[in-house]
Amino acid sequence: MPPPSATTFSAVLAERLRHDPGRPLVTYYDHATGERVELSVTTWANWVAKAASLLVDELDLERGDRIRIDLPPHWLGTVFLGAAWSSGLVVTDEDDVAAAVCGPGTLGEWAPRAAEVVVLACSLRPLGVRFLEPVPAGVHDVGVEIWSQPDAFVPWDPPGPEDLAVTVGGTQLTQAELWRAGAAGTMVGGGRLLSVADPVIEVATFSEPLTQGGSLVLVARAERHHLEATYVAERATARFPA
């Protein structure tokens, strides 16, 4: 488990990579389709590095810029959380942003703003692949552009503990506040949290497992009669909502 003194995302992730790189970190279910995706700490970190490189090195976003992750609950939402925190971007639920990550359901809202906002679109198809049809002009198809990015990312202007990390639902947290709260949360070290909530909105459902050596089992379009079976199959130790 990362030490309580870890006050940046890079420190938290580095500790996880040192101690349990092969353990599951994010397990994603879509009960409507039967899809299941499991990302180990290392695999998730590689996705985060690719996404961060895309945001910063390809699309020229800078530390302090605000990003909206406008996706339904999905494993890619956690990837873009990590990418934002590693590069010093601020995750927000506001519309006044430098960049937006959207899915098929919100692509029509963001595409007209592509001239003024960096718009990245995720197909949400299995394995994070591209859209079946070309995306609108000016929009970046994550399933096309992310694969050429490197598996390691080193920000040229890394965020520090006092950099703002999240401003969601009227709550603002710096990197230090986010990870101190994660370390002080209710997760038991190594536990698995089953959640039906969007981790972009309910940030603690991801920051606590990440900080405390645990993992997240994220269920989208949850079917009540399948939730208990998922809880048992994944050996979960807690659930959100409780």
Task: Could you list the beta-strand ranges (E) of the chain.
Answer: 24-30, 35-40, 66-70, 90-92, 99-102, 118-121, 140-141, 164-168, 171-174, 192-195, 215-220, 238-240
- Residue 106 host element (H or E): none
> Per residue in 67-76, pLDDT tens?
999 999 999 9
Return averaged pLDDT per consecutive 10 residues of the chain, 242 residues in all: 72 96 98 97 98 98 98 98 98 97 98 98 96 97 97 95 96 96 86 97 96 97 95 97 89
pTM: 0.96
Domains annotated for the chain, with CATH where assigned, are 9-240 (3.40.50.12780)
Which residues are CB-contacts of 68 (< 8 A; sequence separation ≥ 6)?
A: 91, 92, 93, 94, 95, 97, 99, 100, 101
pLDDT tens readout for residues 180-189: 999 998 887 7
pLDDT value of residue 4 = 52
What local confidence, expressed as pLDDT, does residue 2 receive?
A: 45
